Structure 1
Amino acid sequence: MKHFFLVMILSFLCCNDAENNVEASKDYSKIHTEALAFCQKEGFDENYYFLVDLSIHSGKNRFFIYDFKTKKVVDKNLVTHGSCDQFEENPTKWEKVRFDNRVDSHCSMKGKYKIGNRDYSSWGINVKYWLYGLEESNKSAVKRVVVLHSWNAVKNNEVYPKFAPLSWGCPAVSNEFMEKLDTRLQKSEKPVLLWIVE
């Protein structure tokens, strides 16, 4: 009987650990290689880039800072996705991301972005960075005012199985994480790449 309970406990812990490390098992090597090639070709910062994987549960870390030199993720945190509920009902908006670049859709937009000028934000630490969509899937970013900013409602640690709050399409992060991003971005002499994938 003791053996049975021990097996059950170990099984639960193993499964729970696997659930909590879904993103750790993903292979982003092709994305990192393509990101570096893009940065080299387009004159972007070749030290690091930001990767946002919206296929990961919103209560888990899915905003990654990847260092091209060390070939490692040097930091990660939570990030919001869009509610995407303006043009049609979206009952699964918390669980599954929908993408749409139409103005006022409140959806996320995947693809590569150039992180632009630092500006004032009425949210979080009052700092935002303009995002310039570089693909058909995100070309309306400026018109929609989809920007990188912080938000008091976003926690600084994983909240799984709970969800992060929903945005109107902005990749919003915690105040603490935004301070780290802001410090990095202010030091960058070249544009930094933000790439949203699923």
Structure 2
Amino acid sequence: MRKVYFSLLLSLFALVATRTNAQGLFMSIDAITKNGTQLKNHQNEVELSSIQYGIESEASFVKGTGAALGKPTFSALTLTKFYDISSTALIDKMVTGVAIPKVDVNFYDRENRISYRIQLEDVFVTSYQTSSTGTCEGGCPGLQESISFVFKRYSIFDTKNQAETLQQKFSFDISTGRKF
């Protein structure tokens, strides 16, 4: 029996890339990101440099019976950002093992409207890494952080509808293995 791993990451990336044309990527966590930036319409968010995550299902192909697909496995969502108001609070959540009720990752369009949102619920910080450059011509951007989250619930919202309002398109409860 041959095992093949299918990744939904490419289709999710294609959905994000073609739909959002994001001009901004921000994270919102209720008390943690309050007054996170001075940017207009982003006061309770912190700016992100990137995010990465994936979903895989194990598959097997047996001659005569066709393909069988296993339950999906969600990887940790890893984001990169510069050190900011949320940094020490996220470290505290990690070292104390305290869950974060909700994390929103918002993609903004050219008109500064949310066009896509990834919402995580019952979130735990599982990794915190930093990097920086000692010296660079013209100044260095500062301390860069890479933070990973695992979560129990995952939802996607987008504005791909007639009214162009943010609507829930997909939700999955990892603890039960079911959509909600």
| TM-score w.r.t. length of structure 2 | 0.26
Structure number with higher relative contact order (C-alpha < 8 Å, ≥ 6 residues apart): 1
Please state which structure has a larger fraction of its residues in helix.
Answer: 1
| TM-score w.r.t. length of structure 1 | 0.25
